[in-house]
């Protein structure tokens, strides 16, 4: 089984289909943050929404939800991230329907790795029951925010301007807040670096893949690696 992992796109979607057409894989996981960038326009938001709508229809793709996507989905003030705007939201939601948004997931498990937008902090795990905790708590969290109620799983930590000690799965900061969880492997985005980062213990392997799409992750037979996007095809521009 070979999984391609693509981190925070932030409007950079034009290269995706060509690049994927040059690779052999079984499935693709996108780690969220499809929208928003500095000085972007409503046209940028429209372009991304059209791409995302089409991508959501492809069976072997999993789309996770990121910090910059969830406010466009629910529009509660406690979910708003920098760059979110009413104008872009109107454009996006003329294209993406409720059924489209519901295809985005808070997490997935691939080859014994938990994939989320930003990561899961140990303080969120109860009684070392990792899967039960993540599945049940994220489901309840989604129900909370659908109803307009704040939930820690989608809140920002102090290092990102929030009021809770550690960020939830769309906000956890790799530099300031991330900590390995015993017997749990994670692959995340959200915190930007020039090269993918690693944080390992004896029984926990963890990677941060947000390099502004300079790298693509590869998860194959339980082992994670990455390649430079520009090395796939010299004609692909990021």
Instruction: Find, among 67, 64, 76, the residue nearest to 146 by Cα.
Output: 76
How far CA 61 is from CA of 4, 98, 152, 207, in Å, comes to: 9, 18, 27, 20
In a domain, 57, yes or no: yes
Helix axes 86-95, 42-55, angle to 10 degrees: 30
The continuous run of DSSP H or E covering 141 comes out as: helix 130-146
DSSP-H helix ranges across 56-174: 70-74, 86-95, 98-101, 130-146
Give the number of other Cβ atoms within 10 Å of residue 47's Cβ.
17
Q: 195 falls in which pLDDT band (50, 70, 90)?
A: very high
Using an 8 Å Cβ cutoff, are 25 and 2 in contact?
Answer: yes
Of all residues in the chain, the percent with pLDDT exceeding 90 is: 91
Q: Is residue 53, in this structure, part of any structural domain at all?
A: yes
pLDDT tens digits, residue range 155-177? Answer: 999 999 999 999 999 999 999 99
Tell whether 162 is covered by a domain: yes
**Does some domain include residue 41?**
yes
Domain for residue 1, yes or no? no
Domain count, the chain: 1
Look up the domain containing 95 and give its range. 30-191
pLDDT on residue 202: 93
Residue 61 falls within a domain, yes or no?
yes
pLDDT tens digits along 109-164: 999 999 999 999 999 987 766 778 898 999 999 999 999 999 999 999 999 999 99
Measured in degrees and rounded to the nearest 5, phi and psi for residue 50 equal -65, -45
């Amino acid at each position: 089984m070979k999984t391609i992992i693509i981190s925070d796109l932030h409007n950079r979607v034009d290269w995706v289909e060509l690049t994927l057409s040059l690779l052999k894989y079984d499935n693709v996981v996108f780690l969220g943050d499809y929208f928003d960038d500095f000085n972007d326009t409503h046209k940028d938001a429209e372009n991304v929404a059209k791409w995302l709508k089409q991508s959501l229809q492809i069976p072997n793709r999993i789309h996770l939800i990121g910090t910059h996507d969830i406010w466009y989905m629910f529009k509660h003030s406690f979910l708003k991230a920098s760059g979110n705007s009413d104008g872009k939201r109107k454009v996006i939601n003329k294209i993406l329907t409720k059924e489209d948004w519901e295809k985005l997931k808070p997490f997935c498990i691939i080859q014994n790795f938990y994939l989320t937008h930003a990561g899961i902090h140990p303080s969120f795990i109860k009684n070392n029951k990792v899967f039960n905790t993540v599945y049940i708590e994220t489901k309840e969290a989604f129900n909370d925010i659908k109803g307009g109620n704040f939930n820690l799983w989608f809140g920002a930590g102090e290092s990102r301007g929030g009021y809770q000690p550690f960020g939830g799965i769309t906000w956890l900061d790799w530099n300031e807040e991330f900590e390995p969880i015993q017997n749990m492997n994670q692959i995340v985005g959200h915190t930007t670096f020039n090269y993918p980062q690693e944080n390992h213990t004896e029984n926990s392997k963890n990677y941060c893949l947000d390099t502004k799409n300079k790298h693509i992750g590869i998860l194959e037979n339980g082992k994670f690696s990455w390649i430079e996007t520009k090395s796939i095809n010299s004609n692909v521009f990021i």
